[in-house]
Structure 1
Amino acid sequence: MGATVVIGWDMNAALAMARALGVSPLIAAECLSEIEAVMVRKLNEQMAAERA
């Protein structure tokens, strides 16, 4: 059976959350891709460690 992996975030939801928090959409769009890359990598590492 294949392992579950995270491939990315729902960016529409992430931008909506940023907007609800009062964060500029321009700033959020600029920062979210870098934050997403780190979080995806770390979540996948954590899930792999839990399977081992």
Structure 2
Amino acid sequence: MWDLVGRLGGQMRVAGRAIIGWDMSAALALARALGLNLMVVAELLPDLEAVMVRRINEKIGNPDG
């Protein structure tokens, strides 16, 4: 799972100056290619995405994040 998360840096959705999430279609396709259990990925990835969005937007100083 952490390998997947580490590979999603290029799959971010951006609006203006804010990161709004990962491209989940690309994330699930990558998870499938990596041989991960898609049910587990579907359960865990949204929570990890929320943390990533919050942290990155805090780092770039975006008040909307």
C-alpha RMSD over aligned residues:
1.5
Task: State the secondary structure of the residue aligned to 1:15.
Answer: helix
AA aligned opposite 1:47: I
Aligned equivalents of 2:39, 2:59: Cα separation in 1 = 31
Q: Deviations over 1:2-51 (max 9, x none)?
A: x60011111001111111111111111001100100000011011118xx
AA aligned opposite 1:48: G
Correspondence for 1:4: 17
Aligned equivalents of 1:42, 1:17: Cα separation in 2 = 23
Between 1 and 2, higher relative CO (CA 8 Å, sep ≥ 6) is seen in 1
Aligned identity (percent) is: 53
Residue 18 of structure 2 corresponds to residue 21 of structure 1? no
Tell me how many residue pairs correspond in the alignment: 47
Aligned equivalents of 1:18, 1:43: Cα separation in 2 = 22
Aligned equivalents of 2:38, 2:31: Cα separation in 1 = 7
> More helix per residue: 1 or 2?
1
TM-score, normalised relative to structure 2 = 0.66
Aligned equivalents of 1:30, 1:18: Cα separation in 2 = 13
| Structure 2 spans left out of the alignment, 5+ residues | 1-15
